[in-house]
């Protein structure tokens, strides 16, 4: 078998996650009929709120926000990237690529005929979701970037981001120790679990039930290829596939004049500085009520999900 499927009983009785599962068959890296999971709440004819998670989380991350958006008339679509949550999990790390993740999300957006989309993206949700936006801008009406990034390893990123990752001269790259340590840990750790990564990068206390929910999709090492591979896909050379894709995404964003809002946390060194790049480079970010979420770490949806939701809904005129 080239992929594995987390048993459904792993998702039974999870705290504050009552949402019915939905599945779409996709082609992922040549694997036919791979099953991709997504939450689909609220009226099907409403404006779309497309919420995208990153590493090492899944749609559970948005459980505090989904009901608030659905109650305001949004169709809330929250996929699990392939390899995460209830989605199927290819067994080989090399099957996961930057492009494959973008292709999978693009297929879901097309198959569900999503239009008038407000993209809400965090961590890897940014590069993947914005990668789809770069292909079909007309489907998107607005964007909220929260603790996300678009690495290109450009020389002009020097001194712009806290976790440095930029070229130096013709042949060298400067990478922060924090970023390099995270990439190496994901490949070398004998026990690579989701919950310590979430707990270690949030500010507010998390219950044991919540932590268990983040580990639920990964019963053992066989299920973790995608989780281990995401850090290795972070571009660290200018010729990296991800760097080239992100360059195209930046080029598309340079023409994006629809509303673009940044809501970053005050305690996330991994993405600090990227909000200023979005504000400087995306025309639609001009004049928007950008804000910083206080007492929140990398997983702002976990630390301050309700606040994040209300800020976005207020901005959209739906509070």
Per the confidence metrics, is the pTM higher than 0.95?
Answer: yes
> Which one from 88, 103, 268, 303 is the annotated catalytic residue?
268
Active site residue 290: no
**pLDDT tens profile 72-109:** 999 999 999 999 999 999 999 999 999 999 999 999 99
**pLDDT tens profile 142-170:** 999 999 999 999 999 999 999 999 999 99
pLDDT value at position 319? 86
Q: What are the tokens at 258?
A: 């629809």
| Cβ atoms of 3 and 89 closer than 8 Å | yes
Asked if pLDDT for residue 30 goes beyond 90, the answer is no
Q: What is the CATH number of the domain that holds 53?
A: 3.40.50.1820
pLDDT value at position 31? 81
pLDDT value at position 1? 63
pLDDT value at position 54? 98
Lowest mean pLDDT segment, chosen from 31-35, 104-108, 213-217? 31-35
Q: Tell me phi and psi for residue 277, to 5 degrees.
A: -65, -45
> Which one from 53, 101, 166, 298 is the annotated catalytic residue?
298
pLDDT value at position 271? 98
**pLDDT tens profile 268-288:** 999 999 999 999 999 999 999
Active site residue 88: no
123 strand-pairing partners? 148
- Where do the DSSP E strands lie in the chain? 3-4, 22-28, 31-41, 48-52, 75-79, 89-90, 117-123, 140-148, 165-168, 172-175, 260-265, 291-293
> Which one from 123, 151, 166, 303 is the annotated catalytic residue?
123
Domain that holds residue 88: 3-315
- Mean of the per-residue pLDDT values for the chain? 97
Structural domains counted in the chain: 1
């Amino acid at each position: 078998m080239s992929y594995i499927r987390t048993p459904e009983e792993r998702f039974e009785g999870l705290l504050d996650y009552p949402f019915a599962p939905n599945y779409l068959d996709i082609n992922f890296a040549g694997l036919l009929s791979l099953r991709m999971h997504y939450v689909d709440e609220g009226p099907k004819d409403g404006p779309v709120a497309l919420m995208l998670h990153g590493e090492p989380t899944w749609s559970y991350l948005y459980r505090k926000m989904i009901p608030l958006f659905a109650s305001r008339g949004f169709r809330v679509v929250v996929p699990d990237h392939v390899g995460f949550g209830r989605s199927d999990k290819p067994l080989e790390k090399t099957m996961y690529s930057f492009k494959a993740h973008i292709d999978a999300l693009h297929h879901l957006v097309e198959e569900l005929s999503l239009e008038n989309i407000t993209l809400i993206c965090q961590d890897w949700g940014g590069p993947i979701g914005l990668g789809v936006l770069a292909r079909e801008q007309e489907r998107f009406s607005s964007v909220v970037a929260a603790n996300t990034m678009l690495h290109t390893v450009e020389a002009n990123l020097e001194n712009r981001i806290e976790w440095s990752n930029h070229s130096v001269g013709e042949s060298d790259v400067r990478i922060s120790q924090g970023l390099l340590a995270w990439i190496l840990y994901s490949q070398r750790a004998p026990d690579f679990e989701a919950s310590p990564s979430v707990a270690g990068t949030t500010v507010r206390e998390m219950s044991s039930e919540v932590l268990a929910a983040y580990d639920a999709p990964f019963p053992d090492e066989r299920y973790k290829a995608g989780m281990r591979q995401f850090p290795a896909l972070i571009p660290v050379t200018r010729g990296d596939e991800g760097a080239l894709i992100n360059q195209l995404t930046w080029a598309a964003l340079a023409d994006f004049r629809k509303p673009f809002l940044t809501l970053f946390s005050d305690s996330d060194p991994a993405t600090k500085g990227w909000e200023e790049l979005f504000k400087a480079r995306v025309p639609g970010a001009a004049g928007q009520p950008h804000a910083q979420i206080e007492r929140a770490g990398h997983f702002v949806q976990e630390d301050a999900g309700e606040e994040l939701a209300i800020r976005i809904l207020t901005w959209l005129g739906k509070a």
